Amino acid sequence: MDIRIKAIHFDVAEKLVNFINKKVERLARHNENISDVDVTLKVVKPETAMNKEALIKIMAPQHEDLVATKVADTFEEAVDLCLEAIEKQLEKKKAKK
């Protein structure tokens, strides 16, 4: 699984990169066909609370891409919320089969 992390207009701390990699690798339990994961991090309105936005896009062969975007107080929380949404999408797809 290839995990790409892109931060828009800021530098990502190593601790955050490790957190994201660890969390995203858990998705393999739901679908081992996941080939690529794009994580985009962005700060919206820097002076406000709830200003960290995470967008996660999952690509797997023979499946449509899954996308989730969430805004939270921290990037960790936003990533967790995105992954929860994607896990639900993966479970729905599995149930349809």
Beta strands in 35-79 (DSSP E): 36-43, 52-59, 66-72
* Measured distance CA(42)–CA(52) in Å, rounded: 6
Tokens of 34: 């996941």
* Measured distance CA(4)–CA(36) in Å, rounded: 8
Q: Domain 2-96 is in which class?
A: alpha beta
Full-model pTM: 0.88
Polymer length of the chain: 97
Q: Please name the amino acid found at residue 80.
A: D
pLDDT digits (tens, 9 = 90+) for 11-33: 899 999 999 999 999 887 777 78
In this prediction, residue 90 carries a pLDDT of 83
In this prediction, residue 97 carries a pLDDT of 65
* Measured distance CA(73)–CA(4) in Å, rounded: 22
Domain boundaries, the chain: 2-96
* Measured distance CA(9)–CA(43) in Å, rounded: 8
For residue 33, give the DSSP letter.
T
pLDDT digits (tens, 9 = 90+) for 40-97: 999 987 777 889 999 999 987 777 889 999 999 999 999 999 999 998 988 887 787 6
Q: Please name the amino acid found at residue 66.
A: L
